Amino acid sequence: MRDADQNGNKGLAFGAAAIASALIFMLLARFSAYRPDLLERYYSSSINKSFISLLSRITGLLPISVGEVLFFVLIAVLTYLVLMTLIGIFTRNLPKRLFNTAVFLAIVYTAFVSFWGLNYSRISIREMAGLSDTEYSAKELYDVTVKLAEIASAERLDVDVASNGRMIITGDAESVIERAASGYDDAWIGELRGDYGDAKPILLSGPMLYTGITGIYMPFTGEANVNIAVHDLLLPATVLHEMAHQRGIAYEDEANFAAFMVSRSHPDSDFRYSGVMLALISSMNALARADSDLYGKLISSMSEDILGDIDEYGEFWKQYEGKTEEISEKINDTYLKGNGQVDGVRSYGMMVDLVLQQYYQKGHF
């Protein structure tokens, strides 16, 4: 009986410590937002970068995504704890069940924040790239979108095409993953360079298409997980996007911008084309909202090959639209807002601001 009491006390002490740690890291996350310079120096560009580099190389020794397996384990554990809590309502174990669930969530939260989550407060990629937060007119947006379309047309001359004339990747999806890292070897900003494990294909890529999710970075394993069943057009850019998360770029618009910029110096044409198409589609969408007349003028001047690739990409995703995608988008939107990305899913298009600033302030992409 005494041993049972001692084990119970140890469990209570451990749980209390876990919850206390979560509260401390919650305060740390709040404080770090006020001093991103300190966070960058002592966490993002130093301790965390070395940690994720090592962790991703260790998990990279396995051919499957450790993060994907861990994700389902965590979901299973949480489901079990919730069920036990519900059962506890009808018994005398409710306080204990609630405590166990709180301890589990506290451990997951502490691991998330300490492993990677503090990067939400690091200095922006805008500052890393030496850009200033400047707004531009619809006409300036139009001019940049025309420039992107010109680059895309030039890059498309070198990509492989299918029998229907549409763009396809060189080789298979695994080949894209194997070739992706070379784009980061000479990244235009030093914070993105380093030795990391390769991206991982998601085993359940096909079913995941119904959620609209193209990739997931797993902070607990340092793995950039990619849905390899997505359309070829943006698959290379998607891999580069998830690898940007792996390198501590937390926000979606910044990861998209990193993927575009890294693709510009990639040795392979399908990566260069995919990256510029990511920027082009985002800019086209922004222009359509900003000025319909300029958007119409743009469309009338664009290459039929480019428009054909975009149309096929849109048709590909139409077959997966539905309730599952809506629910997934709401969950993702809540997650992004919960980590300070106040525009939620809309921020996926905000990379256009960075593209404009890069072009007009640096004179090139």
Given its phi and psi angles, is residue 268 left (phi above 0), alpha (psi -120 to 50 degrees) or beta? beta
**CA-to-CA dists, residue 234 to 237, 253, 270, angstroms:** 5, 15, 9
Report percent pLDDT > 70 for the chain: 90
pLDDT at 325 over 70: no
- pLDDT tens readout for residues 62-117: 999 999 999 999 999 999 999 998 888 888 888 899 999 999 999 999 999 999 99
Short-list 31, 244, 277, 280, CA closest to 124: 244
pLDDT of residue 345: 33
**Residue linked to tokens 């510009």:** 264
**CA-to-CA dists, residue 21 to 18, 112, 173, 335, angstroms:** 5, 12, 41, 21
pLDDT-based confidence at residue 8 (cuts at 50, 70, 90):
low
| Selected residue with higher pLDDT from 163 and 6 | 163
pLDDT at 343 over 50: no
pLDDT of residue 144: 96
Residue 194 phi, psi (nearest 5): 145, 175
Rg of the Cα trace of the chain? 23
pLDDT of residue 212: 87
Is the full-model pTM beyond 0.75?
yes
Q: Helix crossing, 47-59 with 94-115: angle to 10°?
A: 100
Farthest CA pair distance, the chain: 82
- pLDDT tens readout for residues 133-184: 988 999 999 999 999 999 999 999 999 999 999 999 999 999 999 999 999 9
Pull the structure tokens for residue 188.
Answer: 């235009």
pLDDT of residue 89: 84
- pLDDT tens readout for residues 248-271: 999 999 999 999 999 999 999 999
pLDDT at 291 over 60: yes
Pairing of strands 215-218, 223-226: antiparallel
* Structural domain spans, the chain: 2-121, 125-362
> For the residues of 261-324, what is the DSSP string, one character each?
HHHHT-SSHHHHHHHHHHHHHHHHHHHHHH-HHHHHHHHHHS-HHHHHHHHHHHHHHHTT-SHH
pLDDT-based confidence at residue 332 (cuts at 50, 70, 90):
very low
Give 215's strand partners: 226
pLDDT at 321 over 90: no
pLDDT of residue 157: 97
Q: How distant is the alpha carbon of residue 111 from its chain centre?
A: 18
pLDDT of residue 349: 53
Short-list 282, 262, 273, 284, CA closest to 154: 273
pLDDT of residue 155: 98
